Amino acid sequence: MYQVFHAGWAKYRRVFGPLIHIDIIDGKVWIQYEGTEIGVANELLDLGIPKQDIVLGYHAPFMRQHDGFAVG
């Protein structure tokens, strides 16, 4: 499991939460959560990881067949 979090203070309120959560499962990169504007899947593609090795885990299983990436 790989995660990137933001943590700190917003005036008097504590803020803490994930920006990215990625798992490696059976040789595939599962993007479980993405709270960025850059598009982690696109960044992985630019790094040479093929679409068939990237699973958008934040999509419901029945929807993954339509997103152009691996089903899982």
Q: What angle do CA 19, 25, 31 make, to 5 degrees?
A: 25
pTM: 0.84
CATH 3.30.310.110 fits 20-72, yes or no: yes
The first and second tokens of residue 5, run together, are: 């979090």
Tens of pLDDT, residues 20-64: 999 999 999 999 999 988 899 999 999 999 999 999 999 999 999
**Domain limits of the chain?**
20-72
* Separation between Cα atoms, residue 63 and residue 33, nearest integer Å: 16
From 28, 26, 27, 56, select the one nearest 41 (Cα to Cα).
56
